[in-house]
């Protein structure tokens, strides 16, 4: 990155950036530049925005996904494509149906010869963490979160909101979660927390109990650090990890016009007092990589485009 405080990464002003991720020191971008997702493509960029590789996509991309073993995928409507990436090329493998994607996403980490899973049952407000030793099939559960109050409140809404005839008529909405989606998503997010690696430990940010909980590789809890920052119970709070520096940041709310993040002091559970402000309003998809802040921003005067920016961190 240059000496500028902020700069646009993808230089073409015609692109709508759907998603991005990091491949070592480079940036993988999924974008399109035409109506209804036309001219869809994958780009591999360096930090100055120079194109190292490009691959056309047969359809509009929806997101990028990196598996627990480091394999990259591009998700489209109805199918997702495995990607083979090196410094000079991106190639697409044979696609899989999207029905297999949720199971693939359950695997969170590969560490010490184990595959670590987070299995979410949203209708039951149950989240289960466990590991499978490589080459085995047995899931060893070491942590569960269950919100019984949220489960009962959600089911009471099913019963009280509609008559029996209305309940039958709207059954598809219950099955898909439409009738109670805003309520349920907020409560589920409090217990549906990612599993991280730091040094030689696994950890989760338990926002309900306000603890950073540490586990060893076989799932035994080894330490707890109290969370003292004020926004820990904010439904919109999000933890962001810089995979290179192993620093953690709190993004307090994705709905505010002015987006800020603060570094989390892992040894004390406090927030660093210095706010890092995104230099564009309503920044989206904020990530931290090697101490730099990346985000997507859409100019409301140009709704057909969305740009990728990087700015200096602390």
pLDDT digits (tens, 9 = 90+) for 215-238: 999 999 999 999 987 554 455 678
Q: Higher-confidence residue: 253 or 120? A: 120
Tokens found for residue 228: 């003292």
pLDDT at 163: 54
Mean pLDDT confidence for 116-144: 92
Largest CA distance in the chain: 65
Given a cut of 60, is residue 314 above it in pLDDT? yes
Question: What's the Cα-to-Cα distance from 248 to each of 3, 166, 193, 224, 264, rounded to whole Å?
Answer: 24, 47, 14, 16, 5
Given a cut of 80, is residue 186 above it in pLDDT? no
pLDDT at 34: 84
Cβ 314 vs Cβ 276: under 8 Å = yes
pTM comes to: 0.85
Domains and CATH numbers, the chain: 1-104 (2.40.10), 228-314 (no CATH)
Partners of 249 in the β-ladder: 240, 263
Convert the pLDDT of each residue in 57-111 to its tens digit. Answer: 999 999 999 999 999 999 999 999 999 998 789 999 999 999 999 999 999 999 9
Q: Using the CB atoms, write b or e for 244-258: b if 16+ within 10 Å.
A: eeebbbbbbeeeeee
Dihedral (CA of 92, 98, 100, 106) sign: positive
Which pLDDT band, with edges at 50, 70 and 90, does 164 fall under?
low
pLDDT at 54: 96
- Give, as one character, the DSSP assignment of residue 46: -
Q: What is the mean pLDDT of the chain?
A: 85
**Closest to 20 (Cα-Cα) out of 293, 313, 314, 247:** 293
Q: Higher-confidence residue: 44 or 36? A: 44
d(CA 133, CA 115): 6
Convert the pLDDT of each residue in 6-42 to its tens digit. Answer: 899 988 888 999 999 999 999 999 999 988 789 999 9
Alpha helices in the chain (DSSP H): 101-106, 148-161, 164-169, 171-176, 181-191
Tell me which residue has tokens 């990028």: 64
pLDDT at 169: 53
pLDDT at 176: 44
Cβ 29 vs Cβ 308: under 8 Å = yes
Q: Higher-confidence residue: 39 or 172? A: 39
């Amino acid at each position: 990155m240059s000496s500028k405080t902020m700069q646009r990464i993808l230089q073409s002003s015609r692109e709508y950036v759907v998603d991005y991720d990091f491949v070592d020191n480079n940036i993988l971008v999924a974008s399109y530049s035409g109506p209804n997702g036309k001219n869809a493509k994958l780009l591999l960029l360096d930090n100055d925005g120079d194109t190292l590789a490009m691959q056309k996509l047969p359809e509009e991309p929806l997101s990028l996904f990196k598996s627990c073993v480091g394999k990259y995928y591009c998700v489209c409507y109805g199918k997702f494509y495995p990607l083979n990436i090196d410094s000079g090329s991106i190639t697409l493998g044979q696609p899989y149906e999207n029905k297999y994607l949720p199971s693939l996403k359950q695997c969170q980490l590969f560490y010490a010869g184990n595959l670590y899973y987070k299995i979410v049952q949203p209708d039951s407000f149950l989240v289960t963490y466990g590991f499978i030793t490589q080459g085995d099939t047995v899931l060893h559960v070491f942590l569960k979160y269950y919100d019984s109050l949220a489960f009962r409140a959600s089911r009471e809404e099913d019963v009280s909101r509609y008559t029996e005839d209305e309940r039958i008529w709207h059954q598809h909405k219950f099955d898909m979660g439409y009738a109670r989606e805003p309520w349920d998503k907020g409560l589920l997010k409090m217990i549906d927390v990612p599993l991280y690696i730091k040094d030689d430990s696994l950890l989760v940010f338990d926002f309900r109990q306000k603890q950073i909980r540490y586990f060893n590789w076989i799932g035994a809890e080894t330490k707890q650090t109290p969370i003292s920052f004020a926004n820990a119970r904010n439904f919109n709070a999000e933890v962001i990890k810089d995979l290179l520096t192993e620093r953690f940041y709190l993004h307090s709310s994705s709905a505010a016009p002015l987006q800020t993040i603060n570094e989390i002091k892992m040894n004390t559970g406090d927030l660093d007092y210095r706010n890092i402000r995104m230099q564009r309003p309503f920044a989206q998809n904020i990530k931290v990589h090697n101490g730099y802040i990346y985000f997507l921003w859409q100019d409301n005067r140009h709704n057909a485009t969305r740009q990728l920016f990087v700015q200096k961190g602390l």
